[in-house]
Structure 1
Amino acid sequence: MSREINESKKDKKNKPKVKDYMTTDVVVVEPEDTVEEIAKLIEETGHNGFPVVEKGIVKGYIAARHLVLQDKDELAFKLMSSDITLADRDMDLDDAARLMFRKGISKLPVVRETGRMAGIITNSDVIRSQIERADPRKLRKFKKVLEDVHNINLDIEKGEVKVNELIPTQKNIYEDELEGRIYELKKGLAEPIIIVQKPDKMILVDGHHRAVAAKKLEIDKIEAYKLIIKEDKTIGLEKIPKKSGISNLDDIKIIDYAPHPIGRLTKMYGQDNQGE
């Protein structure tokens, strides 16, 4: 029983916190800012709302909808929502996500123990956390397969790799999936790719759509999990590019006449009810 309690405490301790994923560079407005000033800020930043902060303390939240039909000189503190939900920096991220879902809000101002503004957590941050936590399982699976098949030991590192140096192992990708990955990269949501790294080459194992999306966006480097082979040993993955006639990302064919298989499956099972 004691062991179960200790493991439960350990799991809780290791859970990601709001402070691990929140944005600290937050655009805020002051109570005395006018509708005209806030409207200009919306246009400049592309945000649809801002925390209203006075001397570091969150006083409310003002959104674009609060500005509709208001005089340009009207002040923020007269229009803002003052009954707002806040998150603590040390709150479990999962708890913050549940709170956002229940309240129907997409942004949650984060405060310190003193009540001062610390940052903001958004739906995008929550999605990013889920993506990053899902990756290690896939990574461990690849690692185990390669080690078992080739009788080698692999080290794991995480870091940026140069997009133009990636050697693909997949000759086709789907246009609809590529468009989705481009959107994710623009929003900072794309999960890391997985590569096998040898002293003289980087072999792309998982994330071909992401890698091509990065290249199309002219992104020089992309986040990756690296399975590092230090031994001078050839693995099966190295033979695929030569057999398939591909040597770089430009050689990958983009299929634009068929949807990604996942899309086809969801439609087959009648799950194409988006927007209902």
Structure 2
Amino acid sequence: MTSTTVAEYMIKDVVSVSPDMTVAEVSEKMIDSNFHGFPITERGYLLGFVTAKELLRFHDQRDAKMRAVMKRGTICCNPEMSIDDAVRVLFRYGIRNLPVVDSDKKLVGIISNIDIVRSQIEKSRPAKVMSVKSFLEQQNGIRMKIVT
């Protein structure tokens, strides 16, 4: 039996930002898109990841380029990683999104905790669904409704 992989559930059409964009430009893009963060890429290569919380730290440096303020060493995975391992990474590091890169470190997708929930629901029984729901509600401080 083969395990479910990240490639099966990742979003392939990823919205990213350039390292040459300013804090103000990325903030506006985030507001307009309703995303909580963006991968930072250059020529398709993953350089970093920026979240709304990180942008708030630089609210007084609106003209600063992302290249100057971004964190390096982004946690990422490859498409062949199992969903179970991706769950461990997301929850261990308390992150919502996990960029997916190929062997050349080019961004090929992103998997979020919502994608993980979808993968678990599709292969789960009701008790497991409720367990995952409860965990996510506690982890993210939200209320979820399961629609059947």
Give % identity: 34
**Which one has a larger percent strand, Structure 1 or Structure 2?**
1
Confirm whether residue 58 of structure 1 aligns to residue 46 of structure 2. Answer: yes
Secondary structure (helix, strand or coil) at the match of 1:85 reads coil
Query: After the TM superposition, which residues 244-255 of structure 1 pair with which residues of structure 2 at under 5 Å, given as runs?
Result: none
The structure 1 segments of at least 4 consecutive aligned residues displaced by more than 3 Å after TM superposition are: none
Q: Which runs of no fewer than 5 residues in structure 2 stay unpaired?
A: 126-143
Q: Distance in 2 between matches of 1:114 and 1:120?
A: 16
Q: Distance in 2 between matches of 1:79 and 1:48?
A: 17
Confirm whether residue 81 of structure 1 aligns to residue 71 of structure 2. Answer: yes
Q: Distance in 2 between matches of 1:35 and 1:16?
A: 37
Match of 1:180 among 141, 145, 148: 145
Output the amino acid matched with 1:32. Answer: D
Query: After the TM superposition, which residues 1-276 of structure 1 pair with which residues of structure 2 at under 5 Å, given as runs?
Result: 11=1, 14-68=2-56, 69-134=59-124, 180-181=145-146, 207=148
Q: Which has the higher contact order (CA 8 A, sep 6+)?
A: 2
Q: CA RMSD in A?
A: 1.5
Larger Rg: 1
Per-residue CA deviation, residues 8-41 of structure 1 (Å, 9 max, x unaligned), is xxx2xx2110000000111100100011111111
TM-score scaled by length of structure 1 = 0.44
Per-residue CA deviation, residues 165-189 of structure 1 (Å, 9 max, x unaligned), is xxxxxxxxxxxxxx824xxxxxxxx
Q: Which runs of no fewer than 5 residues in structure 1 stay unpaired?
A: 1-10, 136-178, 182-189, 191-206, 208-276
The answer to whether the 8 A contact 1:62-1:80 is kept is yes
The answer to whether the 8 A contact 1:35-1:70 is kept is no
Q: Distance in 2 between matches of 1:89 and 1:109?
A: 10
Output the amino acid matched with 1:56. Answer: G
Secondary structure (helix, strand or coil) at the match of 2:81 reads coil
Return the offset for 1:71.
2.0
Secondary structure (helix, strand or coil) at the match of 1:87 reads coil
